[in-house]
Amino acid sequence: MVLHTMSRTVVLGVIGSDAHVVGITILEQAFSAAGFDVVNLGVQTSQAEFAEAAVAHDAEAVLVSSLYGHAEQDCQGFHEVLDEADVDAVTYIGGNLDVGQSDFEQTRRTFQKLGFDRVFDSETDPEDAIAALRQDLEITPTESERATISS
Ligand code: B12
Protein backbone atom coordinates (compact mmCIF):
# COMPACT_ATOMS: atom_id res chain seq x y z
CA MET A 1 0.00 0.00 0.00
CA VAL A 2 1.38 3.41 -0.92
CA LEU A 3 0.37 6.25 1.32
CA HIS A 4 0.86 9.77 0.04
CA THR A 5 2.35 12.29 2.39
CA MET A 6 4.11 15.58 2.01
CA SER A 7 7.74 14.87 1.31
CA ARG A 8 10.17 16.59 3.60
CA THR A 9 13.36 17.51 1.82
CA VAL A 10 16.64 18.08 3.55
CA VAL A 11 19.70 19.52 1.80
CA LEU A 12 22.97 18.32 3.26
CA GLY A 13 26.59 19.15 2.48
CA VAL A 14 30.07 19.89 3.76
CA ILE A 15 30.80 23.59 3.40
CA GLY A 16 33.88 25.32 2.06
CA SER A 17 37.02 23.43 1.06
CA ASP A 18 36.35 20.70 3.60
CA ALA A 19 36.68 17.16 2.22
CA HIS A 20 35.62 15.02 5.22
CA VAL A 21 32.92 12.79 3.78
CA VAL A 22 32.23 10.08 6.37
CA GLY A 23 30.03 12.17 8.68
CA ILE A 24 27.60 13.36 6.00
CA THR A 25 27.38 9.87 4.55
CA ILE A 26 26.18 8.64 7.94
CA LEU A 27 23.81 11.58 8.25
CA GLU A 28 22.41 10.95 4.77
CA GLN A 29 21.66 7.33 5.66
CA ALA A 30 20.13 8.23 9.02
CA PHE A 31 17.87 10.99 7.65
CA SER A 32 16.81 8.80 4.71
CA ALA A 33 15.99 5.92 7.05
CA ALA A 34 13.93 8.37 9.12
CA GLY A 35 11.78 9.14 6.08
CA PHE A 36 13.29 12.38 4.79
CA ASP A 37 14.19 13.03 1.16
CA VAL A 38 17.89 13.83 1.37
CA VAL A 39 19.76 15.85 -1.24
CA ASN A 40 23.41 15.21 -0.42
CA LEU A 41 25.62 17.83 -2.05
CA GLY A 42 28.76 16.08 -0.84
CA VAL A 43 32.03 17.67 0.19
CA GLN A 44 33.46 21.08 -0.77
CA THR A 45 30.08 22.72 -1.24
CA SER A 46 29.90 26.48 -1.68
CA GLN A 47 27.33 28.72 -0.01
CA ALA A 48 25.75 29.37 -3.42
CA GLU A 49 25.42 25.63 -4.09
CA PHE A 50 23.54 25.17 -0.80
CA ALA A 51 21.19 28.03 -1.71
CA GLU A 52 20.62 26.77 -5.28
CA ALA A 53 19.85 23.24 -4.08
CA ALA A 54 17.53 24.48 -1.36
CA VAL A 55 15.56 26.48 -3.93
CA ALA A 56 15.58 23.71 -6.57
CA HIS A 57 14.30 21.09 -4.12
CA ASP A 58 12.11 23.37 -2.01
CA ALA A 59 14.03 22.18 1.05
CA GLU A 60 12.62 22.52 4.52
CA ALA A 61 16.01 22.13 6.15
CA VAL A 62 19.61 22.89 5.24
CA LEU A 63 22.16 20.84 7.16
CA VAL A 64 25.74 22.07 7.03
CA SER A 65 28.68 19.95 8.10
CA SER A 66 32.21 21.14 8.83
CA LEU A 67 35.08 19.16 10.27
CA TYR A 68 38.32 20.86 9.32
CA GLY A 69 38.22 23.85 11.65
CA HIS A 70 37.25 26.66 9.25
CA ALA A 71 33.49 26.58 9.79
CA GLU A 72 33.24 30.09 11.19
CA GLN A 73 34.96 31.67 8.17
CA ASP A 74 33.10 29.44 5.71
CA CYS A 75 29.73 30.40 7.19
CA GLN A 76 30.22 34.18 7.18
CA GLY A 77 27.35 35.65 5.17
CA PHE A 78 25.76 32.23 4.59
CA HIS A 79 22.34 33.25 5.88
CA GLU A 80 22.42 36.41 3.77
CA VAL A 81 23.01 34.21 0.71
CA LEU A 82 20.07 32.01 1.72
CA ASP A 83 17.87 35.06 2.32
CA GLU A 84 18.77 36.56 -1.05
CA ALA A 85 17.73 33.29 -2.71
CA ASP A 86 14.44 33.36 -0.71
CA VAL A 87 15.27 30.14 1.10
CA ASP A 88 12.92 29.63 4.00
CA ALA A 89 14.41 26.59 5.72
CA VAL A 90 15.52 25.50 9.14
CA THR A 91 19.33 25.59 9.26
CA TYR A 92 21.56 23.30 11.32
CA ILE A 93 25.31 23.09 11.52
CA GLY A 94 27.36 20.31 13.05
CA GLY A 95 30.72 18.61 13.15
CA ASN A 96 34.04 19.75 14.49
CA LEU A 97 33.25 23.45 14.69
CA ASP A 98 35.80 24.79 17.10
CA VAL A 99 39.54 25.02 16.77
CA GLY A 100 40.86 24.02 20.16
CA GLN A 101 38.04 25.68 22.08
CA SER A 102 36.92 23.75 25.12
CA ASP A 103 33.67 25.62 25.73
CA PHE A 104 31.08 24.35 23.27
CA GLU A 105 28.47 26.81 24.56
CA GLN A 106 30.64 29.61 23.21
CA THR A 107 30.86 27.83 19.87
CA ARG A 108 27.10 27.36 19.87
CA ARG A 109 26.57 31.09 20.42
CA THR A 110 29.01 31.94 17.63
CA PHE A 111 27.05 29.90 15.11
CA GLN A 112 23.67 30.99 16.41
CA LYS A 113 24.81 34.58 15.84
CA LEU A 114 25.67 33.57 12.29
CA GLY A 115 22.01 32.56 11.93
CA PHE A 116 21.90 28.80 12.51
CA ASP A 117 18.81 27.49 14.29
CA ARG A 118 20.71 24.65 15.92
CA VAL A 119 24.37 23.83 16.48
CA PHE A 120 25.64 20.29 17.07
CA ASP A 121 29.01 19.03 18.24
CA SER A 122 30.97 16.09 16.83
CA GLU A 123 29.58 13.72 19.49
CA THR A 124 26.06 14.17 18.16
CA ASP A 125 24.06 11.03 17.58
CA PRO A 126 22.26 11.51 14.24
CA GLU A 127 19.05 10.37 15.97
CA ASP A 128 19.21 13.48 18.16
CA ALA A 129 19.41 15.73 15.11
CA ILE A 130 16.49 13.83 13.54
CA ALA A 131 14.44 14.27 16.72
CA ALA A 132 15.28 17.99 16.73
CA LEU A 133 14.25 18.40 13.10
CA ARG A 134 10.98 16.54 13.64
CA GLN A 135 10.29 18.92 16.47
CA ASP A 136 11.24 22.04 14.48
CA LEU A 137 9.16 20.95 11.48
CA GLU A 138 6.37 19.70 13.73
CA ILE A 139 6.46 16.22 12.24
CA THR A 140 4.87 13.43 14.19
CA PRO A 141 6.72 10.09 14.14
CA THR A 142 3.71 8.57 12.40
CA GLU A 143 4.06 10.97 9.50
CA SER A 144 7.68 10.09 8.89
CA GLU A 145 6.90 6.38 9.25
CA ARG A 146 4.32 6.77 6.51
CA ALA A 147 6.83 8.69 4.41
CA THR A 148 9.16 5.72 4.73
CA ILE A 149 6.46 3.29 3.64
CA SER A 150 5.50 5.40 0.63
CA SER A 151 9.02 5.92 -0.67
C1 B12 B 1 39.42 10.73 8.38
C2 B12 B 1 39.95 12.14 8.63
C3 B12 B 1 40.53 12.80 7.55
C4 B12 B 1 40.59 12.22 6.13
C5 B12 B 1 39.23 12.50 5.46
C6 B12 B 1 38.88 11.41 4.46
C7 B12 B 1 37.52 11.68 3.87
N8 B12 B 1 37.46 11.77 2.56
O9 B12 B 1 36.55 11.82 4.58
C10 B12 B 1 41.75 13.06 5.52
C11 B12 B 1 43.06 12.34 5.78
C12 B12 B 1 41.64 13.37 4.04
C13 B12 B 1 41.70 14.32 6.39
C14 B12 B 1 42.22 15.53 5.99
C15 B12 B 1 42.28 16.65 6.80
N16 B12 B 1 41.94 16.71 8.11
CO17 B12 B 1 40.98 15.30 9.02
N18 B12 B 1 40.29 13.98 10.14
C19 B12 B 1 39.85 12.75 9.92
C20 B12 B 1 39.39 12.10 11.27
C21 B12 B 1 40.50 11.17 11.71
C22 B12 B 1 38.09 11.33 11.22
C23 B12 B 1 36.90 12.06 10.57
C24 B12 B 1 35.78 11.07 10.39
O25 B12 B 1 35.58 10.52 9.32
N26 B12 B 1 35.04 10.80 11.49
C27 B12 B 1 33.97 9.81 11.52
C28 B12 B 1 32.62 10.49 11.29
C29 B12 B 1 31.50 9.43 11.42
O30 B12 B 1 32.43 11.44 12.31
P31 B12 B 1 32.32 12.99 12.02
O32 B12 B 1 33.01 13.31 10.75
O33 B12 B 1 32.72 13.71 13.24
O34 B12 B 1 30.75 13.21 11.77
C35 B12 B 1 29.78 12.98 12.78
C36 B12 B 1 29.57 14.18 13.72
O37 B12 B 1 30.59 15.15 13.66
C38 B12 B 1 28.25 14.72 13.33
N39 B12 B 1 28.16 15.76 12.29
C40 B12 B 1 29.02 16.10 11.33
N41 B12 B 1 28.50 17.07 10.55
C42 B12 B 1 27.28 17.33 11.03
C43 B12 B 1 26.29 18.22 10.59
C44 B12 B 1 25.08 18.26 11.27
C45 B12 B 1 24.01 19.23 10.83
C46 B12 B 1 24.85 17.42 12.40
C47 B12 B 1 23.56 17.43 13.11
C48 B12 B 1 25.84 16.53 12.83
C49 B12 B 1 27.03 16.50 12.14
O50 B12 B 1 27.54 13.59 12.86
C51 B12 B 1 28.44 12.78 12.11
C52 B12 B 1 27.95 11.37 12.08
O53 B12 B 1 27.91 10.81 13.37
C54 B12 B 1 39.25 13.37 12.17
C55 B12 B 1 39.50 13.15 13.66
C56 B12 B 1 38.31 12.56 14.35
N57 B12 B 1 38.53 11.52 15.08
O58 B12 B 1 37.19 13.07 14.20
C59 B12 B 1 40.24 14.33 11.56
C60 B12 B 1 40.01 15.86 11.67
C61 B12 B 1 38.55 16.18 11.42
N62 B12 B 1 40.83 16.39 10.57
C63 B12 B 1 41.42 17.49 10.89
C64 B12 B 1 42.25 18.25 10.00
C65 B12 B 1 42.95 19.44 10.59
C66 B12 B 1 42.43 17.87 8.67
C67 B12 B 1 43.27 18.59 7.62
C68 B12 B 1 43.12 20.13 7.60
C69 B12 B 1 44.73 18.15 7.86
C70 B12 B 1 45.75 18.86 6.99
N71 B12 B 1 46.47 19.77 7.60
O72 B12 B 1 45.83 18.60 5.81
C73 B12 B 1 42.80 17.96 6.31
C74 B12 B 1 41.64 18.76 5.68
C75 B12 B 1 41.44 18.37 4.24
C76 B12 B 1 40.16 18.96 3.73
N77 B12 B 1 40.24 19.76 2.68
O78 B12 B 1 39.12 18.71 4.26
C79 B12 B 1 41.12 17.91 12.31
C80 B12 B 1 40.18 19.12 12.39
C81 B12 B 1 40.60 20.03 13.53
C82 B12 B 1 39.59 21.07 13.90
N83 B12 B 1 38.36 21.08 13.42
O84 B12 B 1 39.93 21.88 14.70
C85 B12 B 1 40.61 16.60 12.95
C86 B12 B 1 39.59 16.78 14.08
C87 B12 B 1 41.84 15.84 13.49
C88 B12 B 1 42.51 16.56 14.66
N89 B12 B 1 42.21 16.18 15.88
O90 B12 B 1 43.26 17.46 14.44
N91 B12 B 1 41.11 14.06 7.57
Q: Pick the catalytic residue from 4, 20, 117, 136.
A: 20
> Closest by alpha carbon to 42, among 28, 29, 32?
28
What SS3 class is residue 106? helix
18 flagged as catalytic: yes
Cα dihedral sign, 123-58-34-132: positive
- List Cβ neighbours of 132 (8 Å cut-off, separation of 6 or more): 92, 118
Residue 14 has pLDDT above 50, yes or no: yes
pLDDT digits (tens, 9 = 90+) for 37-73: 999 999 999 999 999 999 999 999 999 999 999 999 9
Average pLDDT over all residues of the chain: 91
143: confidence class by pLDDT, cuts 50, 70, 90: low
Q: What is the pLDDT of residue 144?
A: 52
The pTM assigned to this predicted structure is 0.93
Contact 95, 23 (CB under 8 A): yes
- Structural domains in the chain, CATH included, are 24-136 (3.40.50.280)
Contact 28, 12 (CB under 8 A): yes
If one residue of 68, 99, 120, 123 were mutated to test the ligand 1 pocket, choosing by the most ligand atoms within 8 A of its CB, it would be 68
Q: What is the largest CA-CA distance in the chain?
A: 52
Residue 79 has pLDDT above 60, yes or no: yes
- List Cβ neighbours of 75 (8 Å cut-off, separation of 6 or more): 15, 64, 66, 93, 111, 114, 116
Q: What is the pLDDT of residue 99?
A: 73
If one residue of 67, 99, 125 were mutated to test the ligand 1 pocket, choosing by the most ligand atoms within 8 A of its CB, it would be 67
**Would the CB of 95 count as within 6 Å of ligand 1?**
yes
CA-closest residue to ligand 1 atom 9: 20
Q: What is the pLDDT of residue 150?
A: 46
pLDDT digits (tens, 9 = 90+) for 107-142: 999 999 999 999 999 999 999 999 999 999 998 766
| Ligand 1 centroid, distance to 146 Cα (angstroms) | 34
Residue 1 has pLDDT above 50, yes or no: no
Q: What is the pLDDT of residue 100?
A: 72
> Closest by alpha carbon to 13, among 3, 5, 4, 23?
23
Query: What percent of the chain has pLDDT above 70?
Result: 88
20 flagged as catalytic: yes
| Ligand 1 centroid, distance to 95 Cα (angstroms) | 8
Query: Was 63 annotated as part of a binding site?
Result: no
Query: Was 18 annotated as part of a binding site?
Result: yes
